[in-house]
Chain A
Amino acid sequence: DTEVTQTPKHLVMGMTNKKSLKCEQHMGHRAMYWYKQKAKKPPELMFVYSYEKLSINESVPSRFSPECPNSSLLNLHLHALQPEDSALYLCASSQGPRTGSLEAFFGQGTRLTVV
């Protein structure tokens, strides 16, 4: 099973709304990631959790707040977003550092539209 599940698949939210994106994997991976992908662009790293601790934050605005409740779950809490935050948000997981297996497996993404 190499599946990373993201919910919801599509989300439309207003600039004053609060919403959350969810990501789940049951591969025993200890590193989980959030990426943002704008149309016709490559994915851009936002956050990395390693062993449930935030290890990389790529200077993401505070209106994006990640959370890793346990080793299988990763959330991205959204608040007061701007229309330019509309994008495909991808979650990924990998076995983690020092395991020798480094490839990341991605979910299908959440297509977010901010109105």
Chain B
Amino acid sequence: AQKVTQAQTEISVVEKEDVTLDCVYETRDTTYYLFWYKQPPSGELVFLIRRNSFDEQNEISGRYSWNFQKSTSSFNFTITASQVVDSAVYFCALSHNYGQNFVFGPGTRLSVLP
């Protein structure tokens, strides 16, 4: 069975603070894929990043960075110097079966206050 846990239900930060969103996953598959999606109030889920289980390199993209630790089954997401536009619900997701079946975590609602 696959499961994704995002322990933080809601986080509030003040603009320009750094914030880390936690994601812990469970799977028995040896090959799997991890994703982060952002859902602003408009409703559309915006793809942010994908990581394959065999690629443990961490990644930085602008103000975003991701830390994949297979040993602890975690795939955490950090926003540096947060901005009000970062306010959204962030979902971590897990997939196997060539990416056809996404299992989403419960989401973390991030509020960035001016």
Contact = CB atoms under 8 A, between A and B. Distances in A.
Does A associate with B in a complex?
Answer: yes
A27 to B, nearest CB: 12
A81 interface: no
B: contact size bracket: 20 to 34
Interface of A: 31, 41-45, 48, 50, 55-56, 88, 90, 92, 94, 96-98, 102-109, 111
Nearest to A102: B99
Contacts, number: 59
Interface of B: 33, 35, 37, 42-47, 50, 91, 95, 97-102, 104-107
B43 A88 contact: yes
Contacts of B44: 106-109
A104 B106 CA distance: 18
A109 B90 CA distance: 17
B68 to A, nearest CB: 15
Contact of B98 (A42, A45, A102, A111): A102
